Amino acid sequence: MIPYRNTWLVNDRILDFSRPRIMGILNVTDDSFYDGGLYKSEKACKERVVQMVEEGADIIDIGAMSSRPGAVELPEEHERSRIRNALEWIAELGITSWLSIDTYRASVMQAGLDHGAHICNDISGGALDAGLWPVVAKARIPYILMHMPGNPRNMQQLANYENVVKEILHFFIDKIRLLNGLGIYDVMVDPGFGFGKTLEHNYTLLHDLNAFHVTNKPILAGLSRKGMVYRTVDRTPDEVLPATSALHLAALERGANVIRVHDVEAARQVIAVFEQLNSGEPRF
């Protein structure tokens, strides 16, 4: 992994990328592809957050609307309400992990900020709500820039690239220039595995993940239990933790700074082995 020394600071919270970080997924949705409906209640939500924090999550990424291929948009007020509820419940826990909001809507992100969120995780790269970037700029919070053609309903019909790595790299460079023009400098790039990509595109992006360090931004890899995993091994999403862990190790070896995961303890173990392997200590 290329050492990355960028540091984020928000409201006296510091997050540096000198070592790999874990983003734990909290879906307060009905229909996410793996765990939809499991964490909508206050009790289940709190228990899930406590579990992820105890297992080592640096960031909790809260999503209230599924972005799986073909997903139908949730009414905006419903998404806001779910985010508000989750953040109010989490606030009662007194945790110190960073809180990220997985949304492309300005009003939802603002609701998240009003209830203690620290990061905007935008699958659309700013393309689906022109009001989102100004909200991020005004709040001076970090922004996760993901690549996705179109929207979750039609993205798989738009998976057409001559050179997927080069085209997404140019996308990042152009978007980062625009973000910087708004005063948004704490940016993380996410190539968007599974979002408007074929199986071959996904594995090409993972193989060449190091290319995105050209942006001089930390890299997020969201691979956990996705179609590129379970279709490759011919199993259900429930059955692919070993294969997911293999891809997480591959991502770390190719420069990922953050891995976005459903299984925090497994990810912690992968990182521990990766760091030991790359510790530089003599073996003989």
Q: Which tens digit of pLDDT belongs to each residue from 78-126?
A: 999 999 999 999 999 999 899 999 999 999 999 999 999 999 999 999 9
Q: Select the more confidently predicted residue: 265 or 72.
A: 265
Quote the tokens at residue 166: 């080069």
Q: Which of 226, 235, 254, 268 is catalytic?
A: 226
* Cα gap 270→14, rounded to integer Å: 23
- Domains of the chain, each with CATH number or no CATH: 19-277 (3.20.20.20)
Residue 6 CB neighbour total at 10 angstroms: 17
Band of residue 60 on the pLDDT scale cut at 50, 70, 90: very high
User: Can 260 be counted among the known catalytic residues?
Assistant: yes
Band of residue 272 on the pLDDT scale cut at 50, 70, 90: very high
The one-letter code for the residue type at 187 is: V
Please give the model's pTM, rounded to 2 decimal places. Answer: 0.93
Q: Which of 48, 82, 175, 260 is catalytic?
A: 260
Q: Among 13-27, 65-79, 97-111, 257-271, which stretch is predicted with the lowest mean pLDDT?
A: 65-79
φ/ψ of residue 127, rounded to 5 = -85, -15
